[in-house]
Chains A and B, each alone.
Chain A
Amino acid sequence: MHRLMKHMNLLVVLLVVGVFVATPAPAKDFPNKPISLVTWSSPGGGGDVLGRNLQKPLSRVAGVRVIIVNKPGGSGAVAMEYAEKMKPDGHQLLIVTLSGIITPHVAGTRLSVADFKGLVRVQLDPEVLMVKGDSPYKNAKDAVAAKLANPDNIKFAGAFLGNLDSLLCYQLFKASGIEKYDYVPFSGGGEAMTALLGGHVQVLFGNPSEVAPQVEAGQIRLISIATPERLPGLPNVPTLKEQGYDIEGVLWRGIVAPKGTPDDRVMKMNQLVKEAMQDPEFIKYTERSQLSDGYLTPEQFHQNNQKQYKEYGEIIEKMGIKKKK
């Protein structure tokens, strides 16, 4: 008993200190904790680069630190499973791209971007068709005509089957009456590009950001773009639409929040990111990477994801590569 009394003072001191420490700091309005941006890219990948360019401007306008958390693996499945369990308080968010809507159809994984709450769409990365610098094709129609005339020796290529490149090729072939879908898939954009430069394939689907230096050097030429209208940064590249194909393909990147995140916080974060996107450094990065602004409100983004999830699911099913869940 005496023992306890002796230590009583210490206990009281600890209790009091503990209460003060445990009391939350006077609540600053949201956000009041560091923001985590989870991405399924490894360092250097698209989502990771977006996150790192957003870090400084966003932390400035939000007044809190922003950290990037890399959770690569399973083509996004690992990051999405992690994000599903994140606390829905608006501080923990997931960087996503269109591939997170398409790949689950192909891989049969449980989660897709459509299972999260849309927060903001940040940038657009258009799909283009490209050829080697000395190729005679000037636009998609030329390439298609060549293929129809010589179906066995003209090859179209792009990234792995199930990627937006392959979907676009499928849609183009279907719309042009090319019967055999002999798209050549490559594991990575780099390998596909060297195959194009080496003349092993003749037409490549991809994104301008991947080949900007080669285009500048004249080694590669962009012959069509899959946006609704010509891009101001690429005025000489005709759209597929104006050539008569009703096909669109744009890879976008954005941020989503776990289900259950309150709407007002989602909107507040949306506004903060929008402000961060106006930062001159961020704009420079966007231009340098041949990306364009793709801002959408939370509601617009969420609806977009649901719609695209359904649409791409149908295309993938038609292509015969849909995985039964």
Chain B
Amino acid sequence: MLENMILGFREAFSWQGLGLMFLGSVWGFIGGALPGVQASTAMALILPLTWTMPPGGALMMLAAVYVSAEYSGSVPAILIRTPGTSAALVTTFDGYPLHQQGKGGKALSISLFGGGIGQIIGNILLVAMVLPLSRVALAFGPPEFFALAIFGLTLVASLGEKSVSKALISGALGVAFATIGLDPLSGTVRFTFGVSYLVDGFETVAVLVGLLAVSEIFIQARDARSVGKFSGAISTTLVTWAEFKPMLFLISWTSVLGMFIGVLPGAGATIASLVAYSEAKRWSKHPEMFGKGSYEGVAAPETANNSAISGAMVPMLAFGVPGSGSAAIMIAALMLHGVTPGPMLFIKNPEIVYGLFFALFIATFMMLVMGLVSIRPLIKLVSVPKPALLSCILALVFVGMYTHNASLFNVGTALAFGILGYLMNRYDFSPAACVLGFVLGPMVEVSFRQALIISNKSPMIFVQRPIALVLLVLAFLTFIVPIIRFSKGFLVARKNPPEQV
């Protein structure tokens, strides 16, 4: 084994390996920061380039893209409230308010350091515990996935600052949109009205970008103060050690949490960041700060979405099954090179595996360096006059949507959902809740029905399986506690009316 470690080490630290990883990091950084280009999209776009590389090198470069992209997705999320990757969706909740308060630099650096630590912890867990962790992946069957998805959906309830019911309606709308397309369980094609592009349903990225990015652009364009520069003090100062230290415990356990969720095939960085945010809020000493600019609200999801990358590697290395969409690209890269990922990879090509491990650490380092160097310029960049900034972003979004599938249909989708998001925002419905419903809805529906087929229509299966039961209880608690708090506060206010108005 030591011999293979040395082989992997040499390949990772060779000039060629380092060069490829640097290119990958830069490309991932740019791609992740572009709203509309996900980590997986960025990886898919350079996949053809890897055709001529050795398989180990290709994998290392893709890993570098993945790692950087998951951080840089938070850059536009924090600076202009439009996530660059779907996993950064949750980062907009607290990241953008922080930037508005002039603390953009702090938010970005928290995201960077949290992500870096998350990645390192995730990497260590990956290297040390690949095989035991793979058993976690196996323990999740349809009932467990259903419970996990429901748990994710309960976060929707807490997204309604002004009205829980409006948030739920938005979420339900998202779930409804997700039903459009081919239903895998009955073979029927739903709600496509004959449009062939819709047989696969709306493209997730287009919906996400439309509801969050395009709508945000419309909203900001409508704002009378938008002509001219961003007002308010802009601070590029980074987070201080004193501010960061109290969050170390939070970062440690969200890393582990993110890692475990990444391990589950089909649940990747997005769900990891969701659950991390939800849990951070639950255990925080200042939950009321969440949504208004809480440092923890940025640290938790950004840590989790990076550690989820390592998690996604587990099923890939143990079974050859992707733990996330981006991991699927890495598997495709391996297969294009004639290397079949799976349990035999450790035995037949251990140098690829160890090369990947080292690459993940190197990529983390590169991400940290690039992130640090770019914080100041990026903040200055978004201080340009808004009309210029917004039009550039809109143009980039459309290009990103087009490159996804080489079709204008996705561009149209993004635009349509952008208009919808704008309208939703005007009437205090949360577009983010709609996105969550859209992303989680299919998992809820499909696993629910699969579970019932397995249990022969008995709903008891959700109670009999321990993991599913635990998750469902947690989901219930997450859902009910804000409602109890709200009604308690309501009752208290009625008993003690405020002294002055």
The residues of A with any CB-CB pair to B shorter than 8 Å are: 42-45, 49, 52, 70-75, 77-78, 81, 106-110, 152, 155, 159-162, 166, 182-187, 190-191, 193-195, 197-201, 212-214, 216-217, 219, 284-285, 288, 319, 321, 323
Instruction: Report the bound CA distance from A44 to B335 in whole Å.
Output: 8
| B332 partner residues in chain A, CB cutoff 8 A | 43-45
Instruction: Establish whether residues B142 and A195, one from each chain, have CB atoms under 8 Å apart when the complex forms.
Output: yes
Q: A219, B343: Cβ atoms under 8 Å?
A: yes
Can you give 20 contacting A-B residue pairs, CB < 8 Å?
A: A42-B44, A43-B48, A44-B333, A71-B405, A73-B196, A74-B197, A106-B187, A106-B188, A108-B189, A152-B456, A161-B185, A161-B187, A193-B319, A195-B141, A198-B137, A213-B320, A213-B342, A217-B342, A319-B187, A323-B188
The 8 Å CB contact of B450, one of A78, A185, A197, A219, is: A185
Complex: how many Å from CA A42 to CA B333? 12
Task: Give, as a whole number of angstroms, the nearest-CB distance from A198 to chain B.
Answer: 4
CA distance A52 to B199 in the complex (A): 26
Q: Max chain B CB contacts within 10 Å: which of A49, A198, A321? A: A198
Contact A288 B182 (CB under 8 A): no
> How many Å lie between the Cα of A70 and that of B48 in the bound state?
12
Nearest A-chain residue to B186, judged by Cβ:
A161
Q: Give the residues in chain B near A183, CB-CB below 8 Å.
A: 453
- Contact bitstring B400-411, A, C-beta under 8 A = 1, else 0: 000001110100
Interface flag for B221 (CB, 8 Å): no
Q: Cβ of A162: which chain B residues have Cβ within 8 Å of it?
A: 182, 187
Assembly CA distance A74 to B197 (angstroms): 5
Q: How many A-B residue pairs have CB under 8 A?
A: 150
Chain A residue nearest to B442 (CB atoms) is A187
- Is B331 close to A, CB under 8 A? yes
CA distance A81 to B340 in the complex (A): 33
* A residues near B188, Cβ cutoff 8 Å: 106, 321, 323
State the B residues within 8 Å of A (CB): 44, 47-48, 51, 137-142, 182, 184-189, 196-200, 265-266, 315, 319-322, 328-329, 331-333, 335-336, 338, 340-345, 405-407, 409, 446, 450, 453-454, 456
Nearest-CB residue, chain A, relative to B328:
A44
Q: Identify the closest chain A residue to B195 (Cβ).
A: A74
Q: How many whole Å from A287's CB to the nearest CB in chain B?
A: 11
A182: nearest residue on chain B (CB-CB)? B453
- In addition to A74-B197, A109-B199, 17 A-B residue pairs with Cβ atoms within 8 Å of each other are A44-B47, A44-B333, A44-B335, A52-B51, A72-B200, A74-B198, A185-B185, A185-B450, A186-B450, A190-B265, A197-B138, A198-B138, A200-B142, A213-B340, A214-B319, A214-B342, A219-B343
Q: Which residues of B contact A152 (CB under 8 A)?
A: 456
* B338 x A78 contact (CB < 8 A): no
* Cβ contacts under 8 Å, B341 to chain A: 213
Known A44-B329, A187-B446, A217-B344: A75·B320 in contact at CB below 8 Å: no
A201 and B315 CA atoms in complex are apart in Å by 18
Asked if residues A78 and B197 are in contact (CB atoms below 8 Å), the reply is yes
Q: A77-B199, A78-B197, A201-B454 are in contact. Are A160 and B185 (CB under 8 A)?
A: yes
Q: How far is the CA of A75 from the CA of B344 in the complex (A)?
A: 32
Query: Across the interface, which residues of B come within 8 angstroms of A213, CB to CB?
Result: 320, 340-345
Q: Do A73 and B344 contact each other (CB < 8 Å), given the known contacts A43-B44, A191-B266, A198-B141?
A: no
Report yes or no: A44 in contact with B331, Cβ–Cβ below 8 A. Answer: yes
Other-chain contact of A187, B48, B184, B333, B405 (Cβ < 8 Å)? B184
Docked-complex contact B406 and A71, CB < 8 angstroms = yes
B343 contacts A74, C-beta separation under 8 Å: no
Which residues of B are found within 8 Å of A201, using beta-carbon distances? 454
* Cα A165 to Cα B442 with chains together (Å): 21
Complexed CA–CA distance, A201 and B451 (Å): 10
**Nearest chain B CB to A114's CB is how many angstroms away?**
17
Interface centre among A43, A81, A106, A288 (most CB of B within 10 A): A43
A108 vs B182: C-alpha distance when bound (angstroms): 11
A49 / chain B contacts, CB cutoff of 8 Å: 335-336
Residue in B199, B265, B344 whose CB lies within 8 Å of A74: B199
Instruction: Say whether B319 contacts A184, CB under 8 Å.
Output: no
Note all chain A residues with C-beta closer than 8 A to B454: 155, 184, 200-201
Residues in A neighbouring B182, C-beta threshold 8 A: 75, 106-107, 160, 162
Give the distance to chain B from A166, nearest Cβ to Cβ, in Å.
Answer: 8
Q: How far is the CA of A81 from the CA of B321 in the complex (A)?
A: 32
Contact present for A74 and B196 (CB under 8 Å)? yes
A190, B185: Cβ atoms closer than 8 Å: no
| Cβ-neighbour of A73 out of B187, B200, B321 (below 8 A) | B200
Q: Is the CB of B456 within 8 A of A212?
A: no
Other-chain contact of B196, A77, A155, A190, A219 (Cβ < 8 Å): A77
Q: Which residue of A lies closest to B343 (CB)?
A: A217
Closest CB-CB distance, A200 to chain B, in whole Å?
A: 3
B199 in contact with A107 (CB, 8 Å): yes
| Complex partner residue of B338 from A43, A161, A288, A319, CB under 8 angstroms | A288
User: What is the distance, in angstroms, from B193's C-beta to the closest C-beta of chain A?
Assistant: 11
In the assembled complex, the CB of A193 is this many whole angstroms from the nearest CB of chain B, namely 6
Give Cα A74–Cα B333 distance, bound, in whole angstroms.
24
A160 engages B184 (CB within 8 Å): yes
Chain B neighbourhood of A182, CB < 8 A? 453, 456
Q: Whose C-beta in chain A lies nearest to the C-beta of B45?
A: A43
Complex Cα distance, B196 from A216, in Å, reads: 40
Q: Across the interface, which residues of A come within 8 angstroms of B48, CB to CB?
A: 43
Complex CA gap A78/B450 in Å reads 29
Question: Considering only CB atoms, which chain B residue lies closest to A213 in the complex?
Answer: B342
